[in-house]
Amino acid sequence: MSNRAAIVKIMTELDAIQLALRPVERSVASYTAMGRVRRARLNISLAKLELAHALQYPVDPVIEITLVEPAPTDRTGTAVTNVMTDGLSS
């Protein structure tokens, strides 16, 4: 398996894990557990960025990579926004 094929496979598997964690995040009963699941999902995003950077996979450092998820509602029904940036942009 080539390096590119291995990277694509790893990224695809990490995406599948992230998607599988979404319903778990919505179903937990405590804020602490919800925060931990959300943090795990965001850490997977960071791991993908770090992997791409370490292997010099094409990532444009000038463009800020921003992940914006659909705005869920918090426990009070107020819409909240989740935005994460990679921290690498100048």
Query: Is the model's pLDDT at 79 over the cut of 60?
Result: no
Strand ranges (E), 1-90: 66-68, 83-85
Is 10 within a domain?
A: yes
Is 7 within a domain?
A: yes
CB contact at 8 A, 86 and 42: no
Per residue in 44-67, pLDDT (tens digit) is 888 888 887 777 766 544 444 444
Residue 54 pLDDT: 75
Cα 64 to Cα 25: distance, rounded to the nearest angstrom? 26
CB contact at 8 A, 86 and 61: no
CB contact at 8 A, 34 and 73: no
Query: Is the model's pLDDT at 32 over the cut of 70?
Result: yes
Residue 60 pLDDT: 46
Note down the domain range covering 31.
Answer: 3-62
How many domains does the chain contain in total? 1
Is 19 within a domain?
A: yes
Tokens of 76: 């009070």
Residue 89 pLDDT: 43
Is 73 within a domain?
A: no
Provide the 10 A C-beta neighbour count for residue 48. 20
- pLDDT above 90: percentage of residues in the chain: 2
